[in-house]
Amino acid sequence: MSNASLFERAQQSIPGGVNSPVRAFRAVGGTPRFIARAEGAYLWDAEGKRYIDYIGSWGPMILGHGHPAVLEAVQKAVREGFSFGAPTEREIELAEEILKLVPSAQQVRLVSSGTEAAMSAIRLARGFTGRPKLIKFEGCYHGHADALLVKAGSGLATFGHPTSAGVPPEVVQHTIVLPFNDIAALEQAFETHGTELACVMIEPIAGNMNFVRTQVPFMRRLRELCTEHRALLVFDEVMTGFRVALGGAQSVYAKAIPGFAPDLSVFGKVIGGGMPLAAFAGPREVMRHLAPLGPVYQAGTLSGNPVATACGLETLRQIQRPGFFEALTASTRTLVDGLVAAARDAGVPLVGDSEGGMFGFFFADALPQDYNVVMATDKERFNRFFHAMLDRGVYLAPALYEAGFVSAAHTAADIEATIEAAREALRS
C-alpha cells in the first residue's frame, strides 16, 4: 500500500487525514508516511521503507521501540485485564517511582494525556490559591485546554494560528502571555497582576518552538517572583521529564540555582513509555486540595490504566540503569555536533543544542532565545532539509517548531549514518 493512497483514503474519514495536526506534513509539504511498524531506532512505512526515527512518538520512546522488558511487562498486564476503574497496586508503584525521581513532589495524580495533566494543574493552582490569573509564555505549548491555547507553539505555530478559534476571549481573560526569557516583562506582569496570580506555567526547556532553554538568570528571577507573590511555579515537564535528565529539567536548573524547585510539575510522554499516561505532582499541602480530599475536582475513567502503568513503570526502571543518561546524552551530543560540523563544511549556517536525549537545531547563526526569533529562522531551508533527510531514510519532526529525540536504541552507526545523510543533504 502506498503512503499516498492511504493519505487520500484517510482524508475521507479523518479531518486532514490525521488525528493530531502536525502529523499531516502541512508545514513541510508532501505526503505523510503511514507507519506500519517500529523496532529499536527504526520505523517502517506502509511502502516498506525504513527510517531512523528522531521523533520517538514525540518523546515517549526513550528506550527505542519494542524494548523487550517493556514488551514483557505490557503483555503480562494485558493478560491480567485492560482496565478496572478501581485502584491497583501498580499505580502505587508508579507513583512511588515518580516521587523517588522528583524530590520537589510528595504526591502525584495519574491522568491519560499531557493536556489533561496541564489543565488539571492549572485548576489545582487556582483552587489552592483562590486566585484566577495565570502566566504562560509565547511559544510554549501545554496541550489544548482552552486557557492555555494562547500563543502556543507546536502545531499552532506551524499553521499560523497562534491562538485557536473556538476559544472565546472571556475564557482566556485570565491568561497572561509573556515573551520567553524576558525578565523585564516578567517583573512588570508581577507588579500589575501579582496579587491575582495563581501560577506561572512554563516549559523550562521549550520543545514546542524547536529547542529553547530558559536562561538561568530568568529562571532564578521567576522563582523569586513566584515565591514573593505566593503564586505557584508550574513546570511543564511533559517533554523534558525523565528525558533531559533522570530528574527532568528541574534537576538541571537545581544544579545552576542552589535550592531550586518548582511548586507543581506536569509529566507525560516518557512516564507512559508510549502508552496514554501523564501526571501532575507537587507537595502534599497543595495536592490535598484535589478530590476526594479537597474541593478541586479532577477524574478519569482510564486514569492509572493498568496496561499504561505497566508500560510506564518498566520504562522508568530501565532509564535508571547505571550509565543510561550518560550514554544517551553522549549520543545526542554527537548527533548535534555532527549536524553542526556537516553544515559548517557545506557553508550553511546551522546551530544546535541538546540536553540529555532531547535536541534542536536551527538554520541561523545563533541559538534563538524566544519565539519571535525562532519564527524568523529559515523555514524554507528547514523544509528542504527535512525532505532531503526523509528521502535518505532519516525521520525528523515534520516542522521546525519541534524538538527532536534520540533513544537508547540509536547506535553509533545510526548517528553516523544520520550525519552522513545530513552532509549529502546540505551539499545538495
- Kindly list the residues in this chain that would bind ligand PMP in the complex (CB under 6 A): 58, 113-115, 118, 141-143, 203, 207-208, 236, 238-239, 268, 278
Out of 141, 253, 371, 401, the active site residue is 141
Cis peptide bond upstream of 276, omega within 30: no
Please, which residue, 40 or 60, has the CB nearer to ligand PMP?
60
Between CA 98 and CA 242 the distance in angstroms is 9
Per-position b or e across 143-157, b if 16+ CB within 10 A of its CB: bbbebbbbbbbbbbb
CB of 238 to ligand PMP, least distance (A): 3
> What Å distances lie between residue 102 and 92, 203, 237, CA to CA?
15, 16, 11
Please, which residue, 336 or 399, has the CB nearer to ligand PMP?
399
Please, which residue, 118 or 316, has the CB nearer to ligand PMP?
118
CB of 109 to ligand PMP, least distance (A): 15
CB of 345 to ligand PMP, least distance (A): 33
- Tell me which residue of 122, 84, 148 sits closest to 303, measured CA to CA: 84
User: In this structure, how many other beta carbons lie within 10 angstroms of the beta carbon of residue 54?
Assistant: 22
Please, which residue, 338 or 398, has the CB nearer to ligand PMP?
398
Out of 45, 51, 269, 414, the active site residue is 269
CB of 251 to ligand PMP, least distance (A): 17
Out of 236, 263, 353, 414, the active site residue is 236
Phi, psi of 263 (to 5 degrees): -85, -50
Do 91 and 272 touch, CB atoms closer than 8 A?
no
141 is known as an active-site residue? yes
Please, which residue, 28 or 202, has the CB nearer to ligand PMP?
202
Between CA 52 and CA 38 the distance in angstroms is 10
> What Å distances lie between residue 132 and 171, 172, 176, 236, CA to CA?
11, 11, 11, 19
CB of 145 to ligand PMP, least distance (A): 9
Reading the block at residue 32, the C-alpha cell is 505523510
236 is known as an active-site residue? yes
395 is known as an active-site residue? no
Residues paired with 362 in a beta bridge: 351
Please, which residue, 300 or 349, has the CB nearer to ligand PMP?
300
Between CA 303 and CA 47 the distance in angstroms is 36
Phi, psi of 84 (to 5 degrees): -120, -25
Catalytic positions, written as ranges: 141, 236, 269
